[in-house]
Amino acid sequence: MEACDWPEVDRAELYEDAAAQVKNYHAEGYYVQGSMGMAFDIARYMRRMEVFLADCAGEPERVVALLNRIARLLEARVHRYADIGVDGISLGEDWGTQDRLLVSPAMFRELFKPVYQRVVGAAKSRGLSFRLHSCGFVRQIIPDWIETGVDILQFDQPELHEIDYLARNFGGKVHFECPVDIQTTLQTRDHARIAAAREYILEVAAPFGGGFIAGYYGSNPALGLDPDYQETAARTYMEHGLKPWLRRAASA
């Protein structure tokens, strides 16, 4: 690790173009997030996934040292983003397969949660929101992310966790940003079933005065779908997403 040529991510001149973009986006009324990587993804690309997971099991002390070095770089990036005026930090790293975490919850808490505490903490110290994307079955560590201060969890497969489970356990505690589930509901190509995804709003947001952000998956070709299916989802979100708690109260 000592021999690594670590990047100089905190040089102010690296952020000059981004600063101009932030200014322009703010002038147009946009909420601007600074995008960056996170320690698990960075470390596994440095070492290769199978090698890094073996490291986590066999040499946790060295893994912690590597993660701490990466965390310092990430904290520096957060502060540079804050300096140029972003409103929040957005990042993604995938933590699960379709039925389990890539590491045990205990290992996540021992090795990786401290990195989240540092990086999210740096964002919070500068008044920034924190948005995290993760694919896979990650419900066991959602409470840990919330505890570290993550504001938004972006899931492309919300139904993998079950909508009522998310609402019952985390409603009002964190915001969920989701398209209609890209591997189940959208793949049915059934417009009526896709429109039934209004339950995302009615269950996750309406009882809590908010907490759901309508998502749109960025590549219909990657999903093998005609855009019409996500257009149905978008129309449903628009129809049911305006202060749904008021509509819920009126119909009660």
Sign of the CA dihedral 26, 178, 164, 124?
A: negative
Distance CA(184)–CA(41), nearest Å, equals: 26
Cβ atoms within 10 A of the Cβ of 19, count?
16
pLDDT in tens, 104-142: 999 999 999 999 999 999 999 999 999 999 999 999 999
Confidence of residue 250 (pLDDT cuts 50, 70, 90): very low
Q: What percent of the chain has pLDDT over 90?
A: 90
Burial of 41 (0-12, 13-18, 19+ CB in 10 A): middle
Residue 252: the pLDDT is 44
Tell me 225's DSSP state: -
pLDDT tops 60 at residue 5: yes
Residue 3: the pLDDT is 67
Is 3.90.1150.10 the CATH classification of the domain at 32-251?
no
3-state secondary structure of 206: helix
Q: Where are the domains of the chain?
A: 32-251
Average pLDDT (226-248) is 86
Q: What are residue 71's DSSP bridge partners? A: none
Confidence of residue 2 (pLDDT cuts 50, 70, 90): low
In the block, residue with structure tokens 């996934």: 49
CA distances to 104, 112, 182, 239 from 157, rounded to whole Å, are 21, 23, 6, 21
pLDDT in tens, 161-214: 999 999 999 999 999 999 999 999 999 999 999 999 999 999 999 999 899 999
Residue 6: the pLDDT is 87
